[in-house]
Amino acid sequence: MKKIDHMAEESLREQSTTYISEKDKKRLSGSIASSAAALVFFAAGLIFGRVYPDQTVISELIYLVSVLIIGIPVLTTAVKGFLRRDVSASMEILVSVAMVVAVLDGQFVVAILIPVILTVVHFFEEKSIMGGRDAIEGLKKMQAQTALLYQDGKEREVDAKSLQPGDVIHVKSGMSLPIDGTVQMGEANMDQKSLTGESLPKSVGVGDKVYAGTMNIDGLLTVRVDKAYVDTSFNRIVRLLENAENMTLPETRLVDRFMKYYIPFVLVVAALIWFFTKDISKAIAVLVVSCPCGYMLVSSAPIIAALGAASKRGVLIKNPAFIEKLTDADSFLFDKTGTITNGTLEAVDTELFAAKDREELLTTAAAVAHGSLHPTSKAIVRLCGELPYDSDYIITEPAGNGVSGTKGKDTVILGSRRYLNRLGCRLPREDADSGSTTWVARNGSVLGCIVFRDVLREDVSEAFDALRGIGVNKISVLTGDNRAEARKIAEAVRVDAMHSELLPEQKLEMLKKEKEDHTVAMVGDGINDSLALNEADIGIAMGAMGSDTAIESADISLMNNSLMNLPFVVLLARKTKEIINQNIIIAFLTSFVMIFLAAMGLISPIVGAFLHNAGAFIVLFNSARVVKADYDPKKAAKEKQEAETAPSEGGQA
């Protein structure tokens, strides 16, 4: 038996490239070991029967041992599944009945070979399914397991899991990052396509964030560890992808309901065939070919394929609403800053009031802006440049308003006109029309303002046109900017509605109102839009790389900033749903055709053990079309238009 177990382990080791999990390895190893042991006793029974043809009782006892070895695990699973009403145990239930009937009829060879053949076929089926998870499991291998810890002027190799925030590591050319961190020294080009889908490398230097799973193409980086190994954005993404494999969809629940009646149906059919034909082999064949392997894959296989296709584009999907809701989404709401704009603001003007000079205005603003991740705050720190500013303020940031900081009795406020007015500051003039205005006040005195302009993304118009072309009826933009700036955006980009001067809670109210008449997708940057992303039918976070908030709050996270991923993910959802519906039909038809052929005596029990997986393999091949499909929005829009005009043209003809 030790040799048999060793053989099973070796066969599974050969499949390591398919990334089978430890749990699956253990299950498959047990099945292979029991099958091998059963075959040993089966061969012994055959040999004994040939040598001693008159000792049929002993031969049958040897066969019975073989049946028990291979059959007890199947029978145990079947009984547990029956008691728990677990539809996933349907195959074991039907095979167990077939085995018992075969033994009672004296067909020991059939009783042994059916489960053995099923194990062999399922082994290759599992290999195919596991291979479909390469996109997920392959990601895990991109996170380095070791790191070069730099400590006391020396570097030494350590287990990456032992790294703690604050540690410093060296990342040399050709090395993958094991953690999320900040560059302390050096410059390099980073290959981030495993996470963002971007083929071009990104140049990083001192102060830039770098992420686990990306690779240093050239140069030497000294990186401060920001997160422990298990808390990296990369690990969070992998965990979310693994959880997404267990998505439950309405179509799947329909199959589950059907399966509750399927087993009684098959048992009745087999009994009727036995009763009318008096041929128990036909009944056994019906039980074998009706094993519902294809039903178990109707949704899981397309979803795994969709996850793989999405991950190659830098799209992270974690919610089953991806398929249901996004397929039906007819209204898209967009946040402005950092979503349809680059989020990299340019200062176009400054105006002084109480400030004695421009340096005082900028350093005072930077004293509180440095503690904020908002694009405006980042732009102020960049604008301040090398000017020294006080970083000891205690900072608070009410969402969607501004930033304030206190140091003793000194209070600095940075924000919009509305925010400062609410806090009692009197502003000297209306905001300029040339951009987004940020006001700076200290202890109630208005020092001045900085006017910024945010640049639209290059692909925003193309993406909006693509969404309309594939059936999105309404595109709206929500922004906290003033009306003048919002009007300029609306003129530059064709939108159905533009709403300005909104607080996060007002965006939320507008979204709720929109949901009354539409299925709504909300697209935001995940920083100030978490409420809206959670409330939307489907929440999509832009540029979520490294943002835990975006990854957690959104149903879909775009790890890069390409707006053209929006029509792609809509088409992916539609194709996935289409494939799932096709798979249900394929699974049903295959089962009924196989049952009919078995009832007619055209398929024997042994042949049926080979053929019963036909539906499963057809489902797998069909699901692979999710990856191979063409997601060109222009082509999809043309096909949609042709489909809509075809009936009317036919009617006119």
Cα 120 to Cα 117, 125, 156, distances in angstroms: 5, 9, 47
d(Cα 395, Cα 380) in Å, to the nearest integer? Answer: 15
- pLDDT tens track for 310-366: 877 888 887 766 777 888 899 999 988 778 888 677 777 888 988 999 999 999 999
| Three-state secondary structure call for residue 155 | strand
Which band of pLDDT confidence, cut at 50, 70 and 90, is reported for residue 393? very high
Average pLDDT over residues 25-53: 75
d(Cα 633, Cα 628) in Å, to the nearest integer? Answer: 15
Instruction: Give the closest residue to 124 by CA, choosing from 558, 616, 468, 506.
Output: 616
Task: Dihedral sign for Cα 359, 361, 367, 371, please.
Answer: negative
For 483-540, what is the HEC assignment?
HHHHHHHHHHCCCCEEECCCCHHHHHHHHHHHHCCCCEEEEECCCCCHHHHHHCCEEE
d(Cα 563, Cα 315) in Å, to the nearest integer? Answer: 11
Which band of pLDDT confidence, cut at 50, 70 and 90, is reported for residue 13? very low
555: exposed, middle or buried (Cβ count in 10 Å: 0-12, 13-18, 19+):
buried
Average pLDDT over residues 288-295: 73
Cβ(321)–Cβ(538) below 8 Å: yes
Residues of the chain with pLDDT > 90: what percent? 15
d(Cα 511, Cα 538) in Å, to the nearest integer? Answer: 11
Which band of pLDDT confidence, cut at 50, 70 and 90, is reported for residue 123? low
Q: pLDDT value at position 320?
A: 63
- pLDDT tens track for 406-442: 998 899 999 888 888 888 888 877 765 556 788 999 9
Residue-averaged pLDDT of the chain: 79
Cβ(563)–Cβ(457) below 8 Å: yes
592: exposed, middle or buried (Cβ count in 10 Å: 0-12, 13-18, 19+):
exposed
Task: Please give the residue that has the higher pLDDT: either 30 or 512.
Answer: 512
For 568-599, what is the HEC assignment?
HHHHHHHHHHHHHHHHHHHHHHHHHHHHHHHH
Instruction: Give the closest residue to 19 by CA, choosing from 142, 121, 106.
Output: 142
Q: pLDDT value at position 406?
A: 93
Letter for the amino acid at 611? L
Q: Where are any strands of DSSP class E within 388-444?
A: 394-396, 402-407, 410-415, 436-442
Does residue 593 register a pLDDT over 80?
yes
d(Cα 474, Cα 20) in Å, to the nearest integer? Answer: 44
Does residue 606 register a pLDDT over 60?
yes
**Ranges 153-162, 287-296, 331-340: which has the least confidence:** 287-296
d(Cα 203, Cα 155) in Å, to the nearest integer? Answer: 24
Cβ(168)–Cβ(148) below 8 Å: no
For the sheet with 497-499, list strands across it. Answer: 315-317, 556-558, 538-541, 520-524, 331-335, 474-478, 497-499
State how beta strands 520-524 and 538-541 pair.
Answer: parallel
Q: pLDDT value at position 519?
A: 92
**Ranges 37-46, 85-94, 160-169, 340-349: which has the least confidence:** 85-94
Which band of pLDDT confidence, cut at 50, 70 and 90, is reported for residue 500? confident
Element (H, E) at 132: none
Which band of pLDDT confidence, cut at 50, 70 and 90, is reported for residue 293? low
Dihedral angle of Cα 500, 506, 507, 512, to the nearest 10 degrees = -130
Does residue 492 register a pLDDT over 60?
yes
Letter for the amino acid at 324? E
| Three-state secondary structure call for residue 471 | coil
Q: pLDDT value at position 466?
A: 92
Task: Please give the residue that has the higher pLDDT: either 314 or 134.
Answer: 314
Instruction: Give the closest residue to 440 by CA, choosing from 404, 466, 410.
Output: 404
Distance spanning both ends of the chain, measured CA to CA:
76
Q: pLDDT value at position 11?
A: 35
Which band of pLDDT confidence, cut at 50, 70 and 90, is reported for residue 285? confident
Q: Which tokens in the block code for residue 533?
A: 């992303």
State how beta strands 474-478 and 331-335 pair.
Answer: parallel
- pLDDT tens track for 210-265: 888 788 888 889 999 988 888 787 777 677 666 655 555 555 566 667 777 777 88
Cβ(352)–Cβ(361) below 8 Å: yes
d(Cα 75, Cα 63) in Å, to the nearest integer? Answer: 17
d(Cα 251, Cα 455) in Å, to the nearest integer? Answer: 43
Residue 436 zone, left/alpha/beta (φ > 0; ψ -120 to 50; rest): beta
d(Cα 580, Cα 524) in Å, to the nearest integer? Answer: 29
Q: Residue 88: how many CB atoms within 10 A of its CB?
A: 14
Cβ(51)–Cβ(44) below 8 Å: no
d(Cα 268, Cα 397) in Å, to the nearest integer? Answer: 68
Cβ(557)–Cβ(551) below 8 Å: yes
Which band of pLDDT confidence, cut at 50, 70 and 90, is reported for residue 18? very low
Q: pLDDT value at position 366?
A: 93
- pLDDT tens track for 474-491: 999 988 777 877 888 888
CA angle 273-69-2, nearest 5°?
150
